[in-house]
Structure formats: C-alpha cells, structure tokens
Amino acid sequence: MRPVRLMKVFVTRRIPPEGRAALARAADCEVEQWDSDEPIPAKELERGVAGAHGLLCLLSDHVDKRLLDAAGANLKVISTMSVGVDHLALEEIKKRGIRVGYTPDVLTDATAELAMSLLLTTCRRLPEAIKEVRNGGWTSWKPLWMCGYGLTQSTVGIIGLGRIGQAIARRLKPFGIQRFLYTGRQPRPQEAAEFQAEFVSTPKLAAESDFIIVACSLTPATKGLCNKDFFQQMKTTAVFINISRGDVVNQDDLYEALASGQIAAAGLDVTTPEPLPTDHPLLTLKNCVILPHIGSATYGTRNTMSLLAANNLLAGLRGEPMPSELKL
C-alpha cells in the first residue's frame, strides 16, 4: 500500500489556538509555521512557501508575483486571516487558478466596537484628560477646560456603508444622532433604510458632517480619497476617524489639517506604514489619537478568525467549498 502524500501547508505567524488546533487535527497536511509573533522576513517566507500546497497568511504579508513564483506550481490555496485583501496580488493569483479564503463578518462587531471607542476617545479628548490627571494639570474645575464635542443631535458621515459601516451606524443610533450621511460606490437603499441614511457625494459628506468615519475597502478609487481638498471641505469643528486602511488617507494632508486647525481632531486605527515610526509628525499632535490597528483585537474574534482561516485553507486543499471564499 502506497503511503498517502501529505499536503504541505505554510503558516506565516503564530495564530490563535483554535485555528492552530484545527490545522493540527488535519491528518492529510504537513504544517510548518513561522514560530513567532513578529512578521516573517521575506527570505524566510520565500523559503517556507516553496513547494507548499496551501498558505495561511496575515494582512501584513505581501503575497506578490515574486512570492507566488517562489511557491511554485503546487500552491492551490491562500487563506488570509483578514477581511481586507489589499496585500494579495489578486490578478496574479487568479491567473494561476489559486483559490483565496478570507474572514469577513466574524470581525464586524469587534471592529465596530473599536470604532465607537476611538470616536468617543477622540471627540471627548480622553488621552489629553488622562495626561492632565497624571502630570498635575488638573487643578480645579473650569467651565471650558478639556471640552470636546458631543454626538447628540449631530450629523455623522460614513464612508463605506458595508458590514462594518452598518454596524457602526447601528451602535451610534442610541446616541441621538440627528442625521446619517454615507457615500460609496453606489447607493444602498435597503441597508440605509435602518438608519434613514442619505446617499451623498463625498464633498457633501465632508462639508456637512460633524463626525466622519472611514469604513470602506482600500481600492484604486479610495486610495488617497481623504486628502487636502477633502479636509478643506470639512467643518473646523469636525472629527475624523479612520478604521479602514491607512492608504485611504493622505497623512501629510491630515497633519496639515490638524496642525492648522482646519479640522478639530482625528482618530486613526490604521496608518501608512504600520507600525507608524515613533518620530512621525502625527504623533506630535494632541488632537490626533493613533491606535496600533487593533480593530479586531478581542480574544474571541481573533480565535474565530484563526479558525475560519484554517477551515478555509483545509476546505480549499480538499477541493471542498470554503466557508468564506473570495470569488476572483
């Protein structure tokens, strides 16, 4: 009896236990993992993926033509532990007939919660307030000291009313938002009805919103969308939040808008690059809150993401329908 040939799987990072366990149970796979929480060096990634049938990667791993060439003809499945796929060379992957799995839906709630946290932290100036307590700046109660901006009766503009955009709007409704605006590739009347949200142009959304939340995908159309012209159209009292991808924003233009008082404040969970260098000008500003891309960072969500990524990979390798396949 001929021995069963195992399929080689390469995992680019330590992943949470549920996904790791699912791969360990796969008797038809030989799994190799980069055993670190830090990103795998490019040369190690090329070495690890050589001859692999399946690749489980993260959003920080750039899967380009060079890496696909290094992998060779065996590679049949790429499973990314992310909802975003801008790190994958999709046209090249499609050309080679490689299937792609990703992890939508499972991180929607966690990311929406983080967006709310970041919005409230930014508009109510919480990092500044905490610093004042610690450095002795809190001397007495003062009528206008540490005042920020409230959500009640405000206009909120959401760029990208997809799963996450809708989840954010759903959480904002109880705060007494007066008006929701949204923009995107096309109107979404069915989804917008729940919030009585109005589809408008990007300039109109910029000009009329008190709070702007970017929740769109990174595409050629959205890259650099929030630039100097965009910020100049915003109210001087407006607060800008980005939880999508760093490249949607021109960060030099954002810095100028914040430093000059063109807009009131910004909160970012995503930047370009990631991590943001510690000497970046945005980090010198009191009115800019920056988080290290933790939108989906709850124990439950990350475990669920890892399990879905593992199941996508295994299903693809076995020629079965994936739980979440990206149609190319």
Catalytic residues: 293
Tokens 């076995």 belong to residue: 318
Contact in structure between 270 and 297 (CB atoms under 8 Å):
no
Torsion of CA 25, 26, 28, 29, to 10 degrees: -110
Contact in structure between 69 and 90 (CB atoms under 8 Å):
no
The amino acid present at 29, given as its one-letter code, is C
Rounded CA separation 209/156 (Å): 5
Rounded CA separation 81/300 (Å): 14
Structure tokens at 312: 């996508």
Total H helices, total E strands in the chain: 12, 13
Class of residue 33 by CB neighbours under 10 A (exposed 0-12, middle 13-18, buried 19+): middle
Residues 6+ away with beta carbon under 8 Å from 287: 125, 258, 264, 265, 266
